[in-house]
Amino acid sequence: MTADPLFFKHNRERFAAALPDRTAALLFSGECKHMSLDEDYRFFADRNFFYLTGLERDGLVLVIEKFNGEAKSRVYAPAHDSMKERWRGKRMDFSVIAETAGLEIDEVLDLEKYEEKEYDLISNTDINIFLDRSTVMQKPFELIRKIEKGGRKVSDLSKITTVLRLVKSPFEYESIREAARITEEAIEEMKTLIRPGVSEYELYLKLEYEMAKRSSMAFAFGTIVACGKNVFFLHHSDPEKDGDGIAEEGSVIQIDVGARFNGYCADISRVFFVGAPKDGDDKRLKLLELIRALRKAAFSFIAPGKTFAALNSQMYDIAGKWLAGQGLIPDNFTEEDVKRYYWHNTSHFLGLDVHDVGQKDKEFEAGNCLAVEPGVYIPEWDIGFRIEDDCLVTEDGCLLLSSGKDSPEGIIVG
């Protein structure tokens, strides 16, 4: 399944329909970030720009103008330059840009013409300028300061894109499903390496190799492989080759990883037990029983009209009763008592970003995609973990986009 140019054209049409008349919206793909004097980091386009164009190249500008109810889109791109391309790599043909984004060929213009266009637009005080206040780029904020210095107000286009991006089309949630499939295949391949003595570093490399092998090279986030005590560092994305980074008999390994497909993210966590539990009192099994109960309750709860806060409240109640039963918190526990062991929220929006756009207090609606990750961490027991899967909110509940595996696949005999 590949991206359909009509998808991006449709996104622009929906975006333009939400703009008032006499408007110009300016979106930038972004510039490469320097890693050293002569090397850049791998480029990753601004997600709102990508949502409206499907283009993943640096130095591009999208201009959407709306006058008299009619909207016009143009992309400004660097033209071919043999000397610059010799050292910096190939530039896209304008025809390829047009085909990818669902544009007509005359709607792709040389980037050298953009500065004049920008000047004309921001000089015209009768035009309402829209720029993205949610971006991490500097260019939009430089323009905002320049325009507002003269007393004009600049509108925030992210208020429109956030609403559009929240409800996923079949293309979008099927892309997340495929990203999840790639991720889980990589986990299955990595699982064969798990044994006492394996390092986080080995497992990390195997995961990323297997995802890249399946054509996912820009991962959803920094891959997490945490052995033993490192599970208590929730974003342990710097794998270790020795010390705490070595798997030991009787411990756990936390995996948190996500591929991308068509620009859309998966976010999947799995836990592996190093060495088979010796009896039913193994604390790993006790905690697994709780996480399974939390997962079952979460996926049964999620539906249109529910909220993240209400979901968290239900998880705190279930986890609190269990923690009290283990003597870890009092029977008349408070939410703060539970949070001593339930460290992070249960869920978040998922899409072009792994923590996708959307208000935290917004009620769920059909078409939302969520990552659901109940997790409990008990330092007194030297264990803690989460199991995470991705789902689509439907008209009457939710549907898993990933497999939902946790155990017995999660138990590895060393």
| pLDDT tens-place string over residues 104-124 | 999 999 999 999 999 999 999
pLDDT at 45: 94
375-403 residue pLDDT tens: 999 999 999 999 999 999 999 999 999 99
Residue 414: pLDDT band (50, 70, 90) is very low
pLDDT at 281: 82
Encoded tokens for 79: 């033209």
Helix (H) or strand (E) holding 99: helix 94-101
Is it the case that residue 185 has pLDDT exceeding 50?
Answer: yes
Question: Kindly report the CA angle at 19 between 17 and 22, in degrees rounded to 5?
Answer: 115
Same domain, 119 and 227: no
Same domain, 279 and 233: yes
Tell me the mean pLDDT in the region 50-61.
97
Cα–Cα distance measured from residue 204 to residue 247, given in angstroms and rounded to the nearest whole number:
13
Residue 66: pLDDT band (50, 70, 90) is very high
pLDDT at 150: 82
Helix (H, G, I), strand (E, B) or coil at 23: strand
Tell me the mean pLDDT in the region 351-362.
96
Cα–Cα distance measured from residue 102 to residue 222, given in angstroms and rounded to the nearest whole number:
32
Same domain, 293 and 383: yes
Cα–Cα distance measured from residue 345 to residue 372, given in angstroms and rounded to the nearest whole number:
9
Tell me the mean pLDDT in the region 159-187.
98
End-of-domain residue from the set 101, 136, 165: 165
Is it the case that residue 320 has pLDDT exceeding 90?
Answer: yes
Whole-number average pLDDT of the chain: 94
Cα–Cα distance measured from residue 179 to residue 177, given in angstroms and rounded to the nearest whole number:
5
Encoded tokens for 123: 């000089």
Is it the case that residue 408 has pLDDT exceeding 60?
Answer: no
Picking from 187, 228, 234, the residue whose alpha carbon sits closest to that of residue 206 is 187
Residue 2: pLDDT band (50, 70, 90) is confident
241-298 residue pLDDT tens: 999 999 999 999 999 999 999 999 999 999 999 988 877 789 999 999 999 999 999 9
Tell me the mean pLDDT in the region 66-86.
94
Phi, psi torsion values for 251, nearest 5 degrees:
-100, -175
State the burial class of residue 57 (Cβ atoms within 10 Å of its Cβ: 0-12, 13-18, 19+). middle
Query: What domain range includes position 330?
Result: 170-412
Tell me the mean pLDDT in the region 156-168.
98
Tell me the mean pLDDT in the region 329-351.
98
Helix (H) or strand (E) holding 148: helix 139-148
Is it the case that residue 373 has pLDDT exceeding 70?
Answer: yes
Same domain, 158 and 186: no
Q: What is the reported pTM?
A: 0.95
End-of-domain residue from the set 149, 165, 181: 165
Picking from 248, 26, 278, 270, the residue whose alpha carbon sits closest to that of residue 129 is 26
How many structural domains comprise the chain? 2
What is the per-residue DSSP string for 213-252? HTT--S-SS--EEEEGGGGGSTT--S--SSGGGB--TT-E
Helix (H, G, I), strand (E, B) or coil at 74: strand
pLDDT at 411: 52
Please say whether the beta carbons of 342 and 375 come within 8 A.
yes
pLDDT at 41: 84
Please say whether the beta carbons of 211 and 190 come within 8 A.
no
Helix (H) or strand (E) holding 108: strand 108-110
End-of-domain residue from the set 143, 165, 187: 165
Please say whether the beta carbons of 223 and 204 come within 8 A.
yes
Residue 140: CATH number of its domain: 3.40.350.10
Same domain, 174 and 103: no
Tell me the mean pLDDT in the region 357-364.
95
186-223 residue pLDDT tens: 999 999 999 999 999 999 999 999 999 999 989 999 99
Same domain, 406 and 260: yes
Residues whose CB is less than 8 angstroms from the CB of residue 261 and which lie 6 or more positions away in sequence, other chains included: 175, 176, 178, 179, 182, 216
Same domain, 160 and 285: no
Tell me the mean pLDDT in the region 35-61.
92
Picking from 177, 243, 241, the residue whose alpha carbon sits closest to that of residue 389 is 177
Q: Are strands 268-274 and 252-257 parallel, antiparallel or unpaired?
A: antiparallel
Tell me the mean pLDDT in the region 152-169.
97
Tell me the mean pLDDT in the region 350-378.
97
Is it the case that residue 407 has pLDDT exceeding 70?
Answer: no
Residue 304: CATH number of its domain: 3.90.230.10
Is it the case that residue 323 has pLDDT exceeding 80?
Answer: yes
R_g (Cα) of the chain, nearest Å? 24
